[in-house]
Amino acid sequence: MVVSAQDQGAALAAVSPQQRLLAAGLVLTVFISAFESTAVITALPTIADELHGRSLYGTVFAVSLLATLVAIVTAGEYADRKGPATPFVAAAVLFVSGLIVAATANTMIQVVGGRFLQGLGIGGFSSLAYVTVSRGFPAERRPTMYAVLSAGWVLPSLVAPLLAGWITERFGWEWVFLTMIPVPIIAGLVVVPKLRALPPEPQTTRRPTRLPLAIVLTIGAGAVLAGVQIRPVVLGAVVAGVGIAVATRPLRMLMPAGTFRARRGLPSVVACRLLATMAFLGVDSFIPLAADRIHHATPTIQGFVIVGSALTWTAAQAISARLNGRISPSRLTRAGFLFLATGALLVIPVVHQSWPLWATFFSWAVGGFGMGMLFNPTTVVAMSSAAAGEEGLVSSQVNIADSLGFAAISTLGGAIVAITEHTSLHLAPALTGLFTVAIVLALLGAVTAGRISPER
């Protein structure tokens, strides 16, 4: 959750200068990850049009999130065993490489490849941020530091849609990627020396590597992604079915036991993050597409429509911070899901060309408020449950849920969009169905939220 500037300043004043510098560097990594995700959402309709890759619209999102699955597990595992410095350097190199590959693309396939590399970098950043807070700051400061970290999402969420739209119109979509290159380099120069001073925590149990499981999961998920794109439909269904069969076992082993039964405690926290990510991004990622295809809006307007959700996400996180300790994480999380479901419901009229986009700006702001309300309580509960030496493990489980949720909903949404390109199905009813799925997921999350607190 995001705290006020005064609260952030107070939190940083309570730690050492080295810790403040470390926090600043970590916020930069969150900043660039958030900016990349939000900016690409805005620029992608234009990219797909210019490179004639509309059928790969959902793939561009999904492949990045699939790549994070491998990076999240690898970075978290390496940080638990050897420390976070080396995986951070690797994440920065992969992310910058992905930006260059995407920026120089002349086919949609190359954009997909660039996004895969970016996903590897973002996965490493995401996992290592939580690990670093757990090891680099005293226990009483960690909840506030998670809030300070999340501040890195605020500015990108506010300015990235408008800035990416403006850059796309004035200079071309390639510069959306190129302008991001300096930030991870600067973050690395700030953070890596501090990370080298954080030794790994002694592990109570020596666990076997989970990297093979992550690779198999990624292969299975990739088969599902490919299957929904394949024609004829029967062959595609077979490929997707094989992918599901391949991915099921490693997914269960990578997640906390009981996640898909919403067992009380950490399993339910991870389940809530999975549901929240699918519900939120199932709407947020496809509003710009509706603005482009149905309302024929400019890239700048496409990005502006989702700015409202970023503003209310920020406000909700500030409210959640003030209520911390006075209202239980379960109640805050449930309230967030209910706001998220309401926002998704209010967004559905955007599929009608006569509906004003300014109304969708305010409608989806309700969904952003809900996501802001539930995000930090689930992070704090999850990381508080991590034993010494297992911060990377828990961090990877939470981040896998986030990444898998985005990949799953992007695959579903991308398949729906691809179907509209090849059949008589119109985009408006297809998006209505997708938004309805988001509502159902949010309501399911509201039920699951009651189980995130461990049994006393």
User: What percent of the chain clears pLDDT 90, i.e. is strictly above it?
Assistant: 26
12 touches 141 (CB < 8 A) = no
Residues 227 and 87 placed together within one structural domain of the fold: no
Q: How many CA atoms lie within 13 A of 131 on its CB side?
A: 37
Residues 225 and 183 placed together within one structural domain of the fold: no
429 to 362, 410, 412, 416, 420: CA distances (angstroms): 22, 17, 14, 10, 10
In this prediction, residues 107-133 reach a mean pLDDT of 88
Comparing 220 with 6, which gets the higher pLDDT?
Answer: 220
Q: Let me know if 212 is exposed, middle or buried by CB neighbors in 10 A (0-12, 13-18, 19+).
A: exposed
Residues 144 and 112 placed together within one structural domain of the fold: yes
- Give the pLDDT of residue 424: 67
Comparing 260 with 1, which gets the higher pLDDT?
Answer: 260
313 touches 336 (CB < 8 A) = no
Residue 111: CB atoms within 10 A of its CB come to 27
Q: Which one, of 13, 328, 37, 313, lies nearest residue 151 by Cα?
A: 313
Query: What is the band of 5 on the pLDDT scale with cuts at 50, 70, 90?
Result: very low
Residues 244 and 305 placed together within one structural domain of the fold: no
- Give the pLDDT of residue 274: 94
Pick from 209-218, 346-355, 357-366, 434-443: least confident:
209-218
Comparing 404 with 6, which gets the higher pLDDT?
Answer: 404
Residue 180 placed within a domain: yes
Q: How many CA atoms lie within 13 A of 217 on its CB side?
A: 28
Query: What is the band of 57 on the pLDDT scale with cuts at 50, 70, 90?
Result: confident
Distance CA 35, CA 45 (A): 17
Residues 305 and 383 placed together within one structural domain of the fold: yes
Which residues make Cβ contacts (< 8 Å) with residue 146, sequence separation at least 6? 1, 130, 133, 376, 379, 380, 383
Pick from 80-89, 179-188, 296-305, 354-363: least confident:
296-305
Comparing 267 with 413, which gets the higher pLDDT?
Answer: 267
Residue 168 placed within a domain: yes
Final residue belonging to a domain, choices 254, 289, 324: 254
pLDDT, mean over the chain: 83
384 to 162, 391, 394, 408, 454: CA distances (angstroms): 37, 9, 9, 27, 11
Comparing 226 with 308, which gets the higher pLDDT?
Answer: 308
In this prediction, residues 87-115 reach a mean pLDDT of 92
Distance CA 317, CA 326 (A): 15
Residues 240 and 281 placed together within one structural domain of the fold: no
pTM of the model: 0.76
In this prediction, residues 204-229 reach a mean pLDDT of 80
pLDDT in tens, 385-432: 777 667 778 888 888 888 778 778 877 887 777 777 666 678 888 899
Query: What is the band of 15 on the pLDDT scale with cuts at 50, 70, 90?
Result: low
Residues 269 and 129 placed together within one structural domain of the fold: yes
Q: Is the pLDDT reported for residue 231 higher than 90?
A: no
Q: Is the pLDDT reported for residue 204 higher than 60?
A: no
Beta bridge partners of 10: none
Q: Is the pLDDT reported for residue 224 higher than 70?
A: yes
320 touches 329 (CB < 8 A) = no
- Give the pLDDT of residue 303: 73
- Give the pLDDT of residue 51: 86
Query: What is the band of 275 on the pLDDT scale with cuts at 50, 70, 90?
Result: very high
Residue 53 placed within a domain: yes
Residue 456 placed within a domain: no
Residues 429 and 332 placed together within one structural domain of the fold: yes
Residues 246 and 286 placed together within one structural domain of the fold: no
84 to 42, 135, 153, 194, 255: CA distances (angstroms): 32, 10, 22, 10, 21
How long, in residues, is the chain? 456
CATH of the domain at 66: 1.20.1250.20
Q: Is the pLDDT reported for residue 58 higher than 80?
A: no
Beta bridge partners of 324: 327
- Give the pLDDT of residue 203: 56
pLDDT in tens, 307-356: 788 788 877 877 886 777 788 889 999 999 999 999 999 999 999 999 99
- Give the pLDDT of residue 200: 63
Distance CA 215, CA 359 (A): 43
Pick from 113-127, 222-236, 265-279: least confident:
222-236
In this prediction, residues 290-319 reach a mean pLDDT of 82
Q: Is the pLDDT reported for residue 295 higher than 80?
A: yes
Q: Is the pLDDT reported for residue 235 higher than 70?
A: yes
Residues 260 and 250 placed together within one structural domain of the fold: no
Q: How many domains does the chain have?
A: 2
Residues 325 and 194 placed together within one structural domain of the fold: yes
Whether omega for the bond prior to residue 232 falls within 30 degrees of 0, making it cis, is yes
- Give the pLDDT of residue 368: 92
Q: In terms of residue numbers, what domain contains 61?
A: 5-199+255-451
Residues 23 and 148 placed together within one structural domain of the fold: yes
Distance CA 130, CA 374 (A): 17
Query: What is the band of 1 on the pLDDT scale with cuts at 50, 70, 90?
Result: very low
Q: Is the pLDDT reported for residue 138 higher than 80?
A: no
In this prediction, residues 74-98 reach a mean pLDDT of 88
In this prediction, residues 192-220 reach a mean pLDDT of 77
165 touches 304 (CB < 8 A) = yes
Pick from 58-67, 254-263, 288-297: least confident:
58-67
